[in-house]
A = this chain, B = another copy of it.
Amino acid sequence: MDTLTSPDRMREMAREFRARGERIGYVPTMGALHEGHLSLIRRSKQVATKTVVSLFVNPAQFAPSEDFQSYPRNPERDAELARLAGADILYAPKLADVYPPGYRTYVAVEGLGTTLEGASRPGHFRGVATVVVKLLNRVAPHIALFGQKDAQQVILIKKMVRDLEMDLEIEICPTVREEDGLAMSSRNAYLTPEQRRAAPVLFRALKRAESAVLKERERSAQRIVGLIRETVAAEPNVILDYAEVVNAATLAPLERIEGSILIPVAARVGATRLIDNVILNVEG
């Protein structure tokens, strides 16, 4: 595995790969790699001949009040994990090369970036969209892989890639979970042992919602949200921020459950914000 920090070198490498007819798979990360990221790298190796992994903690997607400074960073461990998972290139650009002084250009996906996570995190998705465009332009992949855990992010990125006519495929891979169902997340590292024991209530609430929709044929979004609230309320260490039932393509809130639906949840566990979701396909 080659580690590159120079954007110019990354470009040369991408051009070289393409000139040789390689198919470039790309897994963008903010580091703090866990099994979810590694599953994306392994999947990339199945669908591409060269796999690039990037490590970049993107300040543009953190609000001033958020954890940009304290976000877990361990580049040596990340490099070792990426190498073991089979990455060919690790691209770890410097902050000043990605956002040099006088940086001015931002990408916004209207309507998909201001609800749900966007409502709690103003500017977050503008930062995500912008850095993803930049990284995709730099790495020039044929296919980029993202985890379903960040459901709103992947919906927004797919829409952006289509709208901006970018020439690549986006593949969404299933959320990887701990044995007790907790979705893998770099932020799980913030949890105390007690919080860690409480956190899987989010997954249990989503499973209960899923069962109500698919087995008990519940079609009221309000009652599904009620079930989730009730489940999470039983765990005093977990404070639900939102639970919604929305259209899985447009994120429009639904009253009646029908079609491809997304149920996203967000909660605070102590000072840590966790998200999770389930997508269900429901006949009318």
Contact = CB atoms under 8 A, between A and B. Distances in A.
Interface of A: 7, 11, 15, 102-112, 129, 133-135, 137-138, 140, 159-160, 163-167, 250
Contacts of A163: 103-105, 134
Contacts of A167: 11, 15, 137, 140
Assembly stoichiometry (copies): 2
25 contacts: A7-B165, A15-B167, A102-B250, A103-B163, A104-B109, A104-B110, A104-B112, A104-B163, A105-B107, A105-B108, A105-B109, A105-B110, A105-B160, A105-B163, A105-B164, A106-B107, A106-B108, A107-B107, A107-B164, A133-B164, A134-B163, A137-B164, A137-B166, A138-B165, A140-B167
- 8 closest cross-chain pairs (CB), A and B: A105-B163, A137-B165, A104-B110, A138-B165, A134-B165, A105-B160, A105-B109, A104-B109
Q: Which of A104, A111, A140 neighbours the largest number of chain B CB atoms within 10 Å of its CB?
A: A104
A165 B137 CA distance: 6
Q: Which of A102, A134, A165 neighbours the largest number of chain B CB atoms within 10 Å of its CB?
A: A165
A42 to B, nearest CB: 27
Contacts of A165: 7, 134-135, 137-138
A108 B106 CA distance: 5
Contacts of A103: 163
A13 to B, nearest CB: 12
A231 B138 CA distance: 48
